[in-house]
Amino acid sequence: MNRYERQTALKELSEQGQQKLLQAKVLVIGAGGLGCPVLQYLTAAGVGEIGIADDDVVALNNLHRQVLYKENHIGKLKVEVVADVLQQMNSTVKINHHIARLNNKNILPIIHLYDVVVDATDNIPTRYVVNDACYLLRKPLIYGSILRFEGQLAVFNYHTNITCRDLFPQQPKENEIADCNEAGVIGVLPGIIGSLQAAEAIKIITGIGQVAAGKLITYNMLQNSLYEFNISANPLAASFLPDDEKAFENADYGEVCDVFSVREIDVASFEEIRSLPGTIVVDVREEYELSETPTIESIQMPFSVFDENIELPAGKTIVVICKSGHRSKAAAALLSRKYKNVVSLQGGFNNWLTLNKMDHA
């Protein structure tokens, strides 16, 4: 009661509203610029169960806007860092890890577990996958988007049949739309839009206020402008929405996992390949991790300072390794832009150690 007394004092919310928050289950897809404020405020508000879906690691260029992370988190999985921070904020909230980049093959069982979904992603294919999955399962979807100095907010599938496809029926190609990596974004903007997304989630859960259902809200920081538009049903939307779960799972959404679409090798293949004279091993673990496990002959380049333009001998097989296999996939994907034969060790050093211990047992 002491923790939430400032909320329960609100007659619109009261203890009944707080109880609804306690019983709610919210999935936040993306633990980046938008996800950070969403996760913090929903945890602080007392949402009973929160799922975090992300497969990325913390990088130095995240820190100006992704305010849950500190410098000593660089190179670590965002999901693991966020879960630890949120549990320290509010130990009564149940935090679920989903270390995965969601696609139309794995998203439906995860979304089934939650009442409300928050889209805090940063790539086009995933946005359409999330939208179509929520449409099929009739889950309220809170959409947020940011670019440069402007952000957008909308709520889909909540007391309306309006979805993201009523705004943009056909999925555009990723190179047709600029993203934050190319165009940039002011650090405070995701904090504003993410906070608005958290507010919509609280309103949906507790039934208070006016939810932005079927509306598009745009905010421009430079002009201090905030506009609200009604989204009309688009007759073209139905032709692009999946008819059922089977059609959804078989649909082509493009390279949802583009940045991590690299070939992985198992430990047996790794042992065979690394003994060959033409193989280069690149270890992207951080300095503090190297003392935790045996080292092998490799080029050391911590992921926190990883340089994709590193000069490596041409025509060689490059095997990228890390502790658990997530950072190595990201680093291998970056190297693949420059080098042809780049692979990642599946499961990382953890997997390598486990199998070697079993062999010696």
* Structure token digits, residue 271: 């042992």
Tell me how far apart the alpha carbons of residues 228 and 321 are, in angstroms, rounded to a whole number. Answer: 48
**Order of strands across the sheet that contains 263-265:** 263-265, 342-345, 317-321, 279-283, 299-300
Antiparallel, parallel or unpaired: β 215-220 and 150-156: antiparallel
Helix axes 35-45, 189-206, angle to 10 degrees: 40
8 - beta bridge partners? none
Clarify whether 180 is annotated catalytic.
Answer: yes
152 - beta bridge partners? 145, 218
Residues ≥6 apart with Cβ < 8 Å to 347: 267, 324, 325, 354
Query: Which residue among the candidates 134, 164, 257, 322 is catalytic per the annotation?
Result: 322
Q: Which helix (H) or strand (E) holds 132?
A: helix 124-137
Clarify whether 322 is annotated catalytic.
Answer: yes
CB–CB of 149/225 below 8 Å? no
Tell me how far apart the alpha carbons of residues 31 and 27 are, in angstroms, rounded to a whole number. Answer: 11
Name the DSSP letter for residue 173: P
CB–CB of 256/126 below 8 Å? yes
Using the Cα atoms of residue 52, residue 66, residue 215 and residue 257 in order, give the sign of their dihedral: negative
- The neighbour count for residue 110, using CB atoms within 10 Å, is 18
Antiparallel, parallel or unpaired: β 215-220 and 225-230: antiparallel
- Compute the half-sphere exposure of residue 30: CA atoms within 13 Å on the CB side of its CA: 27
Active site residues: 180, 322
